[in-house]
Amino acid sequence: MGRGLGVPDEDRRGTGHGTSFLGDRVRAGRDAVKDIVGKVWPYVLAGIAVGACIHGYVPENFMASIMGKGAWWSVPLAVLIGVPMYSNAAGIIPVVQALLGKGAALGTVLAFMMSVIGLSLPEMIILRKVLRPPLIATFAGVVALGILLVGYLFNIVL
């Protein structure tokens, strides 16, 4: 046995009777990439579709009036809209780009993006399997407060 890992040295180098250690790692990496890409691509396509609809069909002054710096309620509204949505970070990027292009304030868009990823309703349902409701409520409250602060801060500074 070599180096205390339970794998003979000759197997680690690929010169023995066992499989190559490097080959196993490459296969495991390839399988992990296939798994991740297989889970992510539908969200990326959905995000591109939503972003394209916003970019093509929503008037610019409409988005600026609802999600602009002038409306104090734009950040909480963005958080409330984002909570029932479900996406991952890659899938929400095209939507964020389209919202920014239509005149939405950066802080409001950041709050929307963070609420979609960090406070989504499906995420809370998953957390319910391992946490009790009071702890989930505490988590959601702290995260929501942080998202609101970041949204308002970015709207004030930028």
Predicted confidence (pLDDT) per residue in 86-119, tens digit: 777 888 888 899 889 888 899 999 999 999 999 9
- Whether residue 25 is contained in a domain is answered as yes
Cα angle, residue 83 at apex, residues 78 and 89 outer, rounded to 5°: 90
Containing domain of residue 63, as a range? 9-157
- Whether residue 4 is contained in a domain is answered as no
- Whether residue 89 is contained in a domain is answered as yes
Per-position DSSP letters for 138-153, written without gaps between them: HHHHHHHHHHHHHHHH
Does the pLDDT value for residue 23 go beyond 80? yes
Mean pLDDT of 27-51: 84
Q: Kindly report the average pLDDT of the chain as a whole number.
A: 83
Question: What's the pLDDT band for 11 if we cut at 50, 70, 90?
Answer: very low
- Whether residue 3 is contained in a domain is answered as no
> Residue 7's beta-bridge partner residues?
2
Q: Residue 128 — left, alpha, or beta (φ > 0 → left; ψ -120 to 50 → alpha)? A: alpha
> Number of structural domains, the chain?
1
